[in-house]
């Protein structure tokens, strides 16, 4: 936060980013889960990831 002087995006900016980049966000999530499985980071417990 210090780098941008406490500048924060509003909800519309975030919503637009998610709308415009939905496919890429899903791909990152899929790759992240695959990496976690490859590194055996998942157990029998449930895991929730929020993007």
Contact 31, 11 (CB under 8 A): no
Total count of domains within the chain: 1
Q: Look at residue 23 in the predicted model and tell me its pLDDT.
A: 96
Q: Which segments of the chain have a pLDDT < 70?
A: 1, 47, 51
- How much is the pTM? 0.62
The residues, any chain, with a CB within 8 Å of residue 47's CB and separated by 6 or more, are 36
Closest by Cα among 35, 29, 34 to 48:
29
Q: Look at residue 8 in the predicted model and tell me its pLDDT.
A: 86
CA distances from 39 to 25, 26, 31, 33, 36 (A): 21, 20, 12, 10, 5
| Residue 31 structural domain | 1-51
Q: Look at residue 17 in the predicted model and tell me its pLDDT.
A: 93
């Amino acid at each position: 936060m210090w780098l941008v002087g406490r500048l924060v995006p509003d909800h519309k900016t975030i919503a637009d980013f998610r709308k415009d980049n939905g496919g890429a966000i899903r791909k990152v999530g899929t790759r992240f889960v695959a990496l976690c499985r490859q590194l055996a980071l998942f157990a029998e417990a449930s895991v929730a990831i929020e993007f």
